[in-house]
């Protein structure tokens, strides 16, 4: 058994990790890298190596999370670009080509030369041309493959009816019919039309033609959700009469086995899956849970401890390790912390938000459990809880509260309303922003300062600027240019005359009487040249701004 010396320095751990990688000892390398990062979270070299190793073992979510949390520490532009290269490759592997293209756009010519990257015009996993003439008769397998990919894209965009319309053209004997049938049932499932899944799935089985395992597993799930347990168990038993070896089949079958707590089969197929994807975190977790439920508690603890050592930010691994040590009779299957634990965390956080300011401030300073649960809440992307926590952290703003907000800004599941609330709080408390954030998997750096700042400024000013910044950074590759335009506009709008600050032609007292920050924001957007009339119309509709109120605000602010 290998013994790790935990008295090693940050540099020594990093050197040992590099040596382990040279010998292709991935597990040992990750352990040493994690140890180096625990000593110094700002060690960019250790973090880059860890993110790279996670990418090599197909753990892209952990790779991306590591990269996102490291980038704020990276000051050298070229060093940042190697993280962008890694993120571009990760998202391309995940099939998220728009996001991959975003990171390619952040790489300079020097970066392309330095990292040996060849420029490609677009990511196209199927290699099809989007424009030009196409012969559609006779319809070849290539045609159906293209149609199937269109349907997949529509499903990803939640355009289920359009996807279903394409999939219904796949008739008996056509190429890729089995894959189309599976996606058809998936669309019905995503529409929560369980009865249609059952009726369509039953018809597919009755047709007697080749049926994919995915169709049967989707039908089993529909039976279960529709309260038809006997039918679900019967079809599952029929499936298990056959042996499955392809990893595509196993990845479809395993979730069904987990839903029905088939412990022995879970162990069997998890081990098959891990034989190829050695460090797949969710499958490793299921394997540990199945071992525990078959009575192999020692084996379960060994498996879950290995998982925790590999993925130190995987909260479910830590939770189940502690649970296994307590020795319950059995455990529930989960790829995250179980629902009862999540409910307990919500209860604790409600106690925190209901507590006095003094108690809350003390909690985030000294109670590691509270700070852990707040970080967990931000990671889940729960909007109501996130908004409430930001509100309560704002009330007790301090170094610890700011650190929690900055942590939340880098969570990949961060939602727009919570993001807006976070920057509103930081802007109100500091008068400026120098933050890193992740929105829609895009890493952002936002630097902005109000021309004048006072903590007693009307809240509506901070709200307005927060709405404008959120609108600018969300989904725009040109957000840096837009922020510069916002700065120019605010320099003209916020002026000091005779010792008093004016917002346009209004005094701060007059501005404080304007209750709708979104209406003020639209009035300001109208004064930025890069926003077209169509842009303004879209923003006005999205913000729900009333045209009559907008005219009145224009009059107060700009005498228009």
Give the range among 133-142, 267-276, 417-426, 444-453 with minimum mean pLDDT: 133-142
53-89 confidence digits (pLDDT tens): 999 999 999 999 999 999 999 999 999 999 999 999 9
Query: What does the alpha-carbon distance between residue 469 and residue 462 come to, in Å, rounded to a whole number?
Result: 11
Query: What is the per-residue pLDDT for 127?
Result: 38
Block residue for tokens 């060849």: 118
Whether the predicted pLDDT of 385 surpasses 70: yes
Query: What is the per-residue pLDDT for 129?
Result: 39
Name which of 50, 44, 49, 39 is nearest 5 in CA terms: 39
Mean pLDDT, to the nearest integer, of 220-243? 90
Mean pLDDT, to the nearest integer, of 47-57? 96
Query: What does the alpha-carbon distance between residue 129 and residue 137 come to, in Å, rounded to a whole number?
Result: 17
Query: What does the alpha-carbon distance between residue 197 and residue 279 come to, in Å, rounded to a whole number?
Result: 34
Mean pLDDT, to the nearest integer, of 479-496? 94
Query: What is the per-residue pLDDT for 327?
Result: 95
What is the value of pTM for the model shown?
0.85
142-185 confidence digits (pLDDT tens): 778 888 889 888 888 889 889 889 888 888 878 888 888 888 88
Whether the predicted pLDDT of 139 surpasses 70: no
Query: What is the per-residue pLDDT for 37?
Result: 96
Mean pLDDT, to the nearest integer, of 283-311? 96
Give the range among 5-14, 119-128, 161-170, 417-426 with minimum mean pLDDT: 119-128
Mean pLDDT, to the nearest integer, of 470-479? 86
Burial string for 396-424 (b: 16+ CB within 10 Å, else e) reads bbeebbeebbeebbbbeebbeebbbbbbb
Report the alpha-carbon angle 430-434-435, nearest 5. Answer: 110
Query: What is the per-residue pLDDT for 147?
Result: 86
Query: What is the per-residue pLDDT for 524?
Result: 96
Query: What is the per-residue pLDDT for 132?
Result: 38
Query: What is the per-residue pLDDT for 430?
Result: 93
Give the range among 76-85, 194-203, 449-458 with minimum mean pLDDT: 194-203
Whether the predicted pLDDT of 121 surpasses 60: no
Q: Between residues 412 and 2, which one has the greater pLDDT?
A: 412
Query: What is the per-residue pLDDT for 133?
Result: 39
pLDDT band at residue 117 under the 50/70/90 scheme: low
Whether the predicted pLDDT of 401 surpasses 60: yes
Q: Between residues 124 and 402, which one has the greater pLDDT?
A: 402
Query: What does the alpha-carbon distance between residue 90 and residue 451 come to, in Å, rounded to a whole number?
Result: 40
| CB of 238 closer than 8 Å to CB of 205 | no
Name which of 111, 141, 64, 136 is nearest 440 in CA terms: 64
Name which of 44, 6, 53 is nearest 25 in CA terms: 53
Query: What does the alpha-carbon distance between residue 195 and residue 215 come to, in Å, rounded to a whole number?
Result: 15
Mean pLDDT, to the nearest integer, of 254-274? 95
Mean pLDDT, to the nearest integer, of 437-454? 94
Q: DSSP letter at 528? A: -
Query: What is the per-residue pLDDT for 557?
Result: 94
Neighbours of 371 (CB within 10 A): 17
pLDDT band at residue 210 under the 50/70/90 scheme: low
| CB of 415 closer than 8 Å to CB of 422 | no
Whether the predicted pLDDT of 288 surpasses 90: yes
Burial label for 3, CB within 10 Å (0-12, 13-18, 19+), is exposed
| CB of 177 closer than 8 Å to CB of 209 | yes
pLDDT band at residue 2 under the 50/70/90 scheme: very low
Whether the predicted pLDDT of 353 surpasses 50: yes
Q: Between residues 181 and 378, which one has the greater pLDDT?
A: 378
Query: What is the per-residue pLDDT for 516?
Result: 95
Average pLDDT, the chain: 90
Query: What does the alpha-carbon distance between residue 31 and residue 4 come to, in Å, rounded to a whole number?
Result: 9
Whether the predicted pLDDT of 349 surpasses 60: yes
Residue 50 neighbours by CB under 8 Å, 6+ apart? 30, 33, 34, 37, 66
Domains and CATH numbers, the chain: 10-114 (1.25.40.10), 132-242 (1.25.40.10), 338-414 (no CATH), 423-560 (no CATH)
């Amino acid at each position: 058994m290998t013994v790790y010396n935990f008295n090693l320095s940050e540099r020594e751990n990093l050197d040992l990790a590099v040596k382990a990688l040279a010998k292709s000892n991935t597990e040992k390398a990750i352990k040493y890298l994690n140890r180096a990062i625990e000593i110094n979270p700002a060690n960019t070299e250790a973090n880059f190596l860890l993110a790279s190793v996670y990418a090599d073992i197909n753990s892209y979510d952990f790779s991306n999370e590591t990269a996102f949390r490291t980038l704020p520490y990276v000051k050298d532009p070229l060093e940042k670009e190697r993280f962008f290269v890694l993120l571009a490759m990760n998202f391309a592997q995940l099939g998220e080509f728009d996001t991959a293209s975003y990171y390619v756009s952040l790489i300079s010519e020097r970066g392309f030369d330095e990292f040996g990257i060849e420029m490609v015009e677009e990511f196209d996993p199927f290699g099809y041309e989007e424009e030009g003439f196409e012969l559609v008769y006779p319809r070849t397998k290539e045609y159906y493959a293209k149609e199937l990919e269109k349907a997949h894209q529509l499903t990803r965009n939640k355009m289920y009816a359009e996807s279903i319309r394409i999939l219904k053209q796949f008739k008996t004997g056509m190429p890729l019919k089995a894959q189309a049938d599976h996606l058809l049932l998936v669309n019905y499932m995503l529409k929560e039309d369980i009865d249609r899944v059952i009726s369509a799935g039953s018809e597919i089985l009755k047709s007697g033609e080749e049926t994919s395992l995915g169709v049967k597993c989707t039908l089993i799930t529909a039976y279960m959700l529709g309260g038809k347990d006997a039918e679900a168990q019967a079809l599952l038993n029929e499936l298990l009469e056959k042996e499955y070896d392809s990893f595509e089949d196993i990845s479809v079958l395993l979730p069904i086995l987990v839903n029905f707590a088939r412990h022995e089969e879970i162990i069997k197929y998890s081990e098959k899956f891990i034989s190829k994807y050695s460090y797949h975190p969710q499958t490793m977790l299921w394997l540990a849970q199945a071992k525990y439920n078959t009575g192999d508690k020692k084996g379960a603890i060994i498996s879950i401890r290995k998982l925790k050592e590999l993925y130190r930010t995987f909260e479910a691994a830590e939770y189940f390790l502690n649970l296994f040590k307590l020795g319950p009779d059995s455990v529930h299957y989960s790829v995250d912390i179980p629902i009862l634990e999540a409910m307990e965390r919500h209860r604790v956080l409600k106690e925190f938000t209901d507590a006095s300011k003094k108690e809350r401030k003390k909690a985030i300073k000294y109670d590691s459990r509270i700070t852990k649960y707040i970080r967990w809440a931000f990671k889940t992307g729960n909007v109501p809880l996130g908004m409430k926590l930001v509100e309560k952290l704002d009330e007790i703003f301090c170094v610890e509260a700011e650190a929690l907000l900055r942590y939340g800004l880098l969570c990949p599941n961060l939602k727009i309303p919570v993001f807006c609330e976070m920057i509103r709080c930081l802007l109100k408390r500091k008068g400026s922003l120098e933050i890193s954030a992740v929105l829609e998997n895009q890493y952002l750096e936002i630097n902005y300062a109000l021309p004048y700042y006072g903590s007693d400024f009307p809240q509506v000013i901070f709200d307005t600027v927060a709405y404008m910044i959120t609108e600018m950074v969300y989904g725009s590759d040109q957000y840096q240019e837009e922020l510069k335009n916002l700065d120019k506009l605010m320099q003209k709008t916020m002026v000091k005359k005779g010792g008093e600050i004016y917002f346009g032609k209004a005094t701060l007292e007059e501005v404080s009487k304007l209750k709708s920050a979104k209406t003020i924001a639209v009035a300001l957007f109208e004064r930025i040249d890069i926003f077209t009339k169509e842009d303004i119309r879209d923003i006005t509709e999205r913000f729900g701004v009333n045209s009559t109120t907008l005219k009145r605000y224009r009059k107060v602010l700009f005498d228009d």
